[in-house]
Amino acid sequence: MHMITAVIRPHKYDDLREALLQLGVEGITVTQVKGFGRQRGQTEFYRGAEYTTTEVPKLRLEIAVSSAIMNQVIDTIQSVASTGKVGDGKLFVHTLDQVVRIRTGEKDELAIG
């Protein structure tokens, strides 16, 4: 079992959500976040005035998956979320030692689905 954390551009979320559901992903946790990487912020216009932001708005997705579909999920996120430009985001993959569904007490693979 693995936890995939993806930081993506907000406008890519709807397409990515649909693609992940088609793969059989049964749950996604989404958080609105701000940060910077190589972009170091961005320049925007508001009511005709130019201003620079130091952090860029992104979405952070946390997806617990079985090892059987992990590579498919990673490939899907990379292909769907990519624009080919700096600032597309990052993927982090962590091994999960244990997962427990609070309501039923189901563990590990049973708790993910």
Residue 41 has a pLDDT of: 67
Query: At residue 42, does pLDDT exceed 70?
Result: no
State residue 15's pLDDT score.
98
Does the pLDDT at position 49 exceed 90? no
Report yes or no: 73 and 24 within 8 Å, Cβ to Cβ: no
Tell me the per-residue pLDDT of 70-91, one tens digit each, with 9 for 90 and over: 999 999 999 999 999 888 999 9
pTM, 2 dp: 0.85
pLDDT number for residue 59 = 98
91 to each of 1, 3, 41, 55, 75, how far by Cα in Å?
16, 10, 19, 18, 10
Long-range contacts of residues 39-44, Cβ cutoff 8 Å, at least 24 apart: 39/86, 39/87, 42/87
* Mean pLDDT value across residues 5-13: 97
Class of domain 2-112: alpha beta
| Distance separating alpha carbons of residues 64 and 47, to the nearest angstrom | 41
